[in-house]
A and B are shown apart, each in its own frame.
Chain A
């Protein structure tokens, strides 16, 4: 087990508690206004004061205020007007913000040569500038001087200590422990001047850089409590919120850019977020706006280059690459930016290449080593991944994703690999044998079916990793716990939750696997260029094709969202996955995408789906593909889609609220009946039926429940809904066939209701239909395969139904579950194999049974029968 390094700030909380009067710096009205974010008023105040009397501190305040709102030219002009070496460093910062590096360097050097009061800050700035130009040795030489400044008490003011922190932080690339020293210097800066916001900004940025987003947010929030418009704090908060659900990061960036439209880091980050959401045009626009301010910014260059790279415009990409390397020959950040965005677009192989290139230009870029290792892991190159992740962790022990991934890989010794014709199943030892009983045949069936349908065979062996801990699956996927997904496809490497990873009845692991393998096919057939909405839509649609009941169906909230006009246009469907605007939207996006795919297949044939995939493989846009393949633009398609929903769910939709009322229902998630029940109002019918049941009036309840069922047949929540209630009523009346029919309809909608599956199997069994009972019980195994009794039951049902292959499968599952009476389990397996005509298999198993229990009479008889040449009974 590795210990991840954690940064901690000692004085932050205590210092924030200090009263404002503790402030030591001189200030006028302008400073107070600047500090509170009243920038225009601050600028006016500074100018007024300067008109009265030239004062270098006031002028510095003016330059700072102008720079904070992005008026860089005015800021530079104001700085130059002061004609004082004391302003040189501030001028350099302004020039650096707009990419005028040579002029900035000259300004910083002037401050140093003139022994300006802020010369330590100028030296730190000079080092940063050298670093940005790829001159690491020269930069580090500047930074090294700060050890002397600090140890000899030269750096004592808040500004000097903050400069020291910046220098030490950069030296942390070669010694991670220096990050702690940087933080200590910032603590001291705040001790020297509690209201020195720059120190707090640096603390927030340092924490964000080291993945401690909670602490980072706290630091930024403290600044925003003083100045709610502080652009760098808002940008920092956006960075610390990047992995949160919702649109908060974008909101923070918009707020920052409202104050400073020329703030390049904010603009570049916004561009990145757009591209993460597969919104190419806005991403390109924002990146270009950032570069118009500072043409050397690697982050902006990286995002713009990523739009080219992901759009298969390699010439455009190379041009930007050359520009980035000209700006900074050691500019690994450019490659990691493109590489990270490639990951977001499921282009894992390319992200490995980009990360490797990043490590070539800067071997001290630990983030690049981590990116390389994580994506090698995604490609199933476990040994290479471990090597590179170890290297990344040695250089940056704060990187929690890398630490988690390495810890996870340490557990791999407890996993077994089961090979089938086209798959390599990577399963945890205790459940490997059991899961392989089902997953092996299912995987081959899915592979054959999908390969034939899409004309594409994923590269074999396809690696399927199944994690019995959801946290491990989450770490495997994103490096952190807390991922909501059940499975992920990285191409021909799949990872998913084992059924054990969640409570029984919460998901179907068979359909999850099928879904992920369908991703492998659509990713492969498009060379990883398929948009998120289409690959998800196809995967859900393929689940539905695979087995009755598999694949989610639209529920009530989806219909309400449609009535509320909250479903997304098809051209913007990606947004539902990447930046959902309300909690259910991601689920709605899955459903909508699948219905779009099914509508295309219904109206244009499956060939159209394949043509669309081909279009994406060629790098074409959604609008162009819709035009060429469907002869419709996306807007026309949206109208067709809406018509299809009305046609298919018209009765249910008619009984639901519309417009604002629907939006309100969606927002409050209160899907309850209205006050005035209507004949076509699903919810009021269901509610009335439930009320009558509660009053013990089953026959009065029945017509309401039947009406509810007929209005919206897709409502079958686990443990409830009209089907289950009607099944209960039918069984109470002794009408077992009716009860079975209702339950069968329920499980045909709900793939995960384990108890309902068992119930319908029981009813079929009691009615003597062993084959139907076996079918439903087998489906239940893809929900929860760990129940020994159900396997015993299913084995007997298969036997009764004359399905020796099914019986053998169940007997194997029982053996895999390691029952206490293992001799009996192996004997039963041997007997099933014997009945299935596999004499050799039977002999092997019966010997295993007798090895445990040498005097086991039934097993002895079978062994002797087999030895005497007894064929299948």
Chain B
């Protein structure tokens, strides 16, 4: 069994979380074609919805789940994943969310290319990539992540890419047409504890992407199959999917987008003053850490290591205090 090892560039992306208010999630699982696919897509969507609400503290009202068959999970599914329902969901999202807030849209299903253009199969008429882009444009001013986990989803990249928008596709082009499993692992990234590689208690879009990509490769490897889906991410708006990332280039936005922030939720206005003070000290120390990193190249290595250790010890001590005060972590 040969394992796939990923570049771990994401570990450098430790910019503090954006103080961005609420997050919103729209999950759409499309037409399965066969019962097992319908069940897969619904299950993946449900996993993601549960993680958003239960692990990331996202208010249930901020989560919308549209699926092919509502009867499969009526408690979670809010409506059918038809073109009309999707357009309605986007209108609601635009009305509900405010500029600066985070909106994550995730598609599960089978993709296709040709004809009217790239699309994801839906019950009834499909939405083409251009039509999805038009819906996303309703969310102007929000920080949007659009994650298409369908086969052939790479063909969406050019149409839906935009500044301040994260686009993830399960395939690098429209030519990768075989059924894709990236969506399963993307959902699992938020539900499990393996994707949080910087151990800050939450999974960024970038962490989820890297985790899902690696696990997808592992699944193919374990099944002794050739890898037929190569997920890519674009968040600099150029419409070109990337597989490797840099702190201030491709991947920057994805590294600071989250479904929610459990710690921030705990440190709300009703938190004790000691806890809020500790959190503030931590924020200052994290700022120092970011500054130190920025100066690393110009510093003597020994001096850098010494300063790094001091800051890390400071963060460790303050985190210890936060934990003692019931602030989690």
Partner of B319, one of A787, A823, A847, A860: A860
Closest to A434 in B: B5
Question: B210 — which chain A residues lie within 8 A by C-beta?
Answer: 820
Residue B324 at the chain A interface, CB threshold 8 Å? no
Task: Check A863–B312 contact: CB distance below 8 A.
Answer: yes
**A857 interface neighbour in B11, B197, B319, Cβ under 8 Å:** B319
Complex alpha-carbon distance, A867 and B312, angstroms: 11
- Return chain A residues, CB-CB under 8 Å to B194: 820-821
Alpha-carbon distance A859/B7, docked complex (angstroms)? 22
Verify A819–B5 contact, CB threshold 8 A. Answer: yes
> In the bound complex, how far is the Cα of B320 from the Cα of A856, in angstroms?
11
- Asked if A851 and B308 sit within 8 Å, CB to CB, the answer is yes
A855 and B6 form a contact (CB under 8 A): no
Checking A504, A822, A855, A860 against B11 with a beta-carbon cut-off of 8 angstroms, the contacting residue is A822
Contacts of A641 in B (CB 8 A): none
Query: B199: which A residues are within 8 A, CB to CB?
Result: 823-824, 853, 855-857, 859
* Pairwise interchain contact A860-B315, C-beta atoms closer than 8 A: yes
Asked whether A854 and B312 contact (CB < 8 A) given A820-B194, A820-B197, A821-B197, the answer is: yes
The 0/1 profile, CB within 8 Å of A marked 1, for residues 173-206 of chain B is: 0000000000000000000001101111100000
In the complex, the answer to whether B197 meets A822 with C-beta atoms within 8 Å is yes
B207 nearest CB neighbor, chain A only: A820
Alpha-carbon separation in the docked complex, A857 to B263 (Å)? 14
Interface of A is mostly: helix
Nearest-Cβ distance from residue A81 to partner chain B, whole angstroms: 75
Binary CB contact string for chain A from 262 to 282 against chain B (1 if under 8 A, 0 otherwise): 000000000000000000000
Contact partners of B11 in chain A: CB under 8 A: 822-823, 852-853
Q: Which residues of B contact A859 (CB under 8 A)?
A: 199
- Across the two chains, which residue of chain B brings its CB closest to A864? B316
Provide the residues of chain B in CB contact with A818, threshold 8 Å: 5-8
A432 to chain B, nearest CB (A): 14
In the complex, A817 has a CB within 8 A of chain B: yes
Residues of B within 8 A of A786 (CB): 2-3
Pair B313/A855 contact, Cβ less than 8 Å: no
Residue from A853, A855, A859, A860 having most chain B Cβ neighbours under 10 A = A855
Check if A787 sits within 8 Å of B198, measured CB to CB: no
Q: Are B14 and A820 in contact (CB under 8 A)?
A: no
Closest B residue by C-beta to A844:
B305
Please tell me if A850 contacts chain B, counting CB pairs below 8 Å. Answer: yes
Those of B79-132 within 8 Å (CB) of chain A: none
* Shortest distance between the CB of A792 and any CB in chain B (Å): 11
Q: Would you call B146 an interface residue if the criterion is a C-beta within 8 Å of the partner chain's C-beta atoms? A: no
How many residues from A make CB contacts under 8 Å with B? 27
Partner of A863, one of B211, B289, B313, B329: B313
Is B302 positioned at the interface, with any CB of A under 8 Å from its CB? no
- The verdict on B309 contacting chain A, using a C-beta distance below 8 Å, is yes
Is the Cβ of A823 less than 8 Å from the Cβ of B316?
no
Contact status A854-B14, CB under 8 Å: yes
Asked if A857 and B200 sit within 8 Å, CB to CB, the answer is no
Quick one: which of A791-833 are within 8 Å of B by CB?
817-824
In contact, A857 and B329 (Cβ under 8 angstroms): yes
Q: In the docked arrangement, what's the CA distance between A504 and B1, Å?
A: 8
Determine the chain B residues whose CB is within 8 A of the CB of A821 once the complex forms: 194, 197
Q: With the chains together, A786 CA to B198 CA distance in Å?
A: 24
In chain A, residues 291-308, which have Cβ atoms closer than 8 Å to a Cβ of chain B?
none
Residue B158, interface by CB 8 Å:
no
- CB-CB under 8 A from A850, the residues of chain B are 312, 315-316
In the complex the two chains form, is A864's CB within 8 Å of B320's CB? yes
Return the chain A residue nearest B317 by Cβ.
A864
Q: Which residue, of B6, B211, B312, B329, has the highest number of chain A Cβ atoms within 10 A?
A: B312
CA distance A197 to B312 in the complex (A): 83
**B residues 300-329 with Cβ under 8 Å of A?**
305, 308-309, 312-313, 315-317, 319-320, 323, 329
CB distance from B128 to the nearest CB of A (A): 34
Inside 8 A of A787's CB, which chain B residues have their CB? 1, 3
Determine the distance from Cα of A810 to Cα of B214 in the docked complex, in whole angstroms.
22
CB neighbours (8 Å) of A416 from chain B are none
A852 with B313, Cβ < 8 A, contacts A822-B11, A857-B329 known: no
Q: Does B316 lie within 8 Å of A853, measured CB to CB?
A: no
* Residue B78 CB within 8 A of the other chain: no
B137 within 8 A of A: no
Residues of chain B within 8 A of A131, CB atoms compared? none
Residue A471 interfacial (CB < 8 Å): no
Note all chain A residues with C-beta closer than 8 A to B312: 847, 850-851, 854, 860, 863
Cβ contacts under 8 Å, B6 to chain A: 818, 820
Chain B residues lying within 8 Å of A853, measured Cβ to Cβ, are 11, 197-200
B286 interfacial contact with A, CB 8 Å: yes
**A864 surroundings in chain B (CB, below 8 A):** 313, 316-317, 320
User: Once the chains bind, are A867 and B313 in contact (CB under 8 Å)?
Assistant: yes
Cβ of A581 < 8 Å from any Cβ of B? no
Please tell me if the beta carbons of B3 and A854 are within 8 angstroms of each other in the complex.
Answer: no
Given contacts A860-B315, A860-B319, A863-B312, contact A820 B201 (CB under 8 A): no
Closest to B201 in A: A855
Contacts of B323 in A (CB 8 A): 857
Look across to chain A and name the residue whose beta carbon is closest to the beta carbon of B12: A852
**Chain A 710-743 residues near chain B, CB threshold 8 A:** none
Bound together, the chains give a CA A822 to CA B319 distance in angstroms of 21
Known contacts A787-B3, A821-B197, A847-B308; A854 and B214 CB within 8 A of each other? no
Binding site for A on B (CB under 8 A): 1-3, 5-8, 11, 14, 194-195, 197-201, 210-211, 214, 286, 289, 305, 308-309, 312-313, 315-317, 319-320, 323, 329
Of all A-B residue pairs in the complex, the 6 with the closest CB atoms, nearest first, are A856-B199, A860-B316, A853-B199, A852-B11, A853-B198, A850-B312
Assuming A786-B2, A819-B5, A824-B199, what are 6 further A-B pairs, CB within 8 angstroms? A504-B1, A817-B3, A820-B210, A853-B198, A854-B198, A856-B199
A-B contact pairs, 22 of them (CB 8 A): A504-B1, A786-B3, A788-B3, A817-B5, A818-B5, A820-B8, A820-B214, A847-B312, A853-B199, A854-B14, A854-B200, A855-B200, A855-B315, A856-B199, A857-B199, A857-B323, A857-B329, A861-B316, A863-B316, A864-B313, A864-B316, A867-B313
